[in-house]
Amino acid sequence: MAVVLKHAMKPTLNAEDMARQRFVSGLRVFVLNDLASDMRQAYDTRLVPSFKQTHGREPATGAEVHQLMRMDPAFTTYSALRVTAQKMVWDSVAPVVKREQARVNEVASQASAGKLTTNPAMPIPRNVSAIDVHFMPGSYVGAGGDDVSPGATYDQGLAVFSMGLMGANLDDIGLSMSAYVSRKFPAFKPKRILDLGCTIGHNTLPWKQAYPDAEVIGIDVAAGGLKYGAARAKLQGVDVAFQQMNAEKLDFPDGSFDLVFSSMFLHELSLKSIGRVFAEIKRVLRPGGLMLHMELPPNTQMGPFEGFYLDWDCYYNVEPFYKAFRDQEPRDLASRAGFKPEHYFQFVVPSVGSYGDAAVSEAIAAESHAVNKETTGRLAAGIQWFGFGAWQERAQ
């Protein structure tokens, strides 16, 4: 089901727009649930037995599963339809964004005033500028400048793409993560919070709602998305500031944040960039501060089939860094940046939208932090989110 946005920049959809977007969302539900389950069945009943006959064992890695599945009709049907549905997500919102471009730019210019700092001279990194990330036309930047169309495209596209699993305001990740942190660490009261790669700030806003006294800043390299996000926040009455900045080179002093967060960000960076981003996080965190990332769960903590399933995006959805990131152990990424191993933690939090608010407290109480291979990070019914973090050492 496509989400109907509720904030003041929401588009006016005609019957044809609505039918098109609902169809695409429904197609994604069909592909990611029904066809995915057919593919799993083909794997268990056809492909594993034949692999075992040849090799005397089951496939051991995601790469082996991928190799095995490639020529199977259950996979080619799933994959072809999933690519088609992905492209249709953007096609289904493009005419609406174009039609409303002048109005939305006007509203965004007024509503973002005072809450947006751009840096037009800043080079856009090639992981954003050189490819149409997940087939989004123009990637996060569009034609450049401060036209907010890339922000509107992302917001409306995510509403179709998410099939209702990210909530009515597309903020389920931020809501679930901030609920987890505020309940798991009740003594931790961050006064300054930074969200890296925030796009339109949809998962930034919940941090301000969880910690109303904190100053919350979202940064991204893409100005159009930030401007849209600044207006989106203002129009929803949430006081968050947005700055155009590269997370690999932050314009903030040492020790100036209590919490540095990111969601769905690291998998769009090369491993070299991740190293530089982690070094910057380490630098800007205060003693006793927290680095926290919501991400896809790592291959090391999943079975071969589930690893293959999530890595699909790397091969077929213009997400070139996805697998290299998922092949890392998050604990090692943190420790390479200088976070002590004993200060690292990871967790799985139930989506508040899917399971209800109480489920977060129950998960904390049960200390059920292991990755569930079927539901963690998989955008389908029963979704749970994976997170990991590390505390900055306290001053001696």
Ligand X SMILES: C[S@@+](CC[C@H](N)C(=O)[O-])C[C@H]1O[C@@H](n2cnc3c(N)ncnc32)[C@H](O)[C@@H]1O
Q: Which residues bind ligand X (CB under 6 A)?
A: 125, 127-128, 140, 173, 197-199, 203, 219-222, 225, 246-248, 263-265, 268-269
Place of tokens 């987890």: 180
Give the nearest distance from C-beta 260 to ligand X in angstroms. Answer: 12
Contact at 8 Å (CB) between 306 and 299?
no
As to burial, measured by CB atoms within 10 angstroms (0-12 exposed, 13-18 middle, 19+ buried), residue 324 is middle
128-136: long-range pairs with CB below 8 Å, 24+: 128/221, 128/222, 128/268, 131/318, 131/320, 132/318, 133/268, 133/318, 133/319, 134/86, 134/313, 134/317, 134/318, 134/319, 135/83, 135/86, 135/87, 135/90, 135/317, 135/318, 136/90
Give the nearest distance from C-beta 101 to ligand X in angstroms. Answer: 20
Please identify the residue of the shown chain whose CB is closest to the bound ligand X.
197
Nearer to ligand X, 68 or 177 (CB): 177
Nearer to ligand X, 13 or 247 (CB): 247
Nearer to ligand X, 247 or 390 (CB): 247
Three-state DSSP class for residue 384:
strand
As a whole number of Å, the CA-based R_g of the chain is 21
Give the nearest distance from C-beta 204 to ligand X in angstroms. Answer: 8
Nearer to ligand X, 11 or 225 (CB): 225
Sheet containing 285-295: give its strands across.
Answer: 116-117, 241-244, 215-220, 192-196, 257-263, 285-295, 384-391, 344-350
Supply angle C-alpha 88, 351, 289, rounded to 5: 110
Give the nearest distance from C-beta 19 to ligand X in angstroms. Answer: 27
Give the nearest distance from C-beta 345 to ligand X in angstroms. Answer: 20
Which amino acid would we find at residue 168?
Answer: A
Three-state DSSP class for residue 216:
strand
Three-state DSSP class for residue 220:
strand
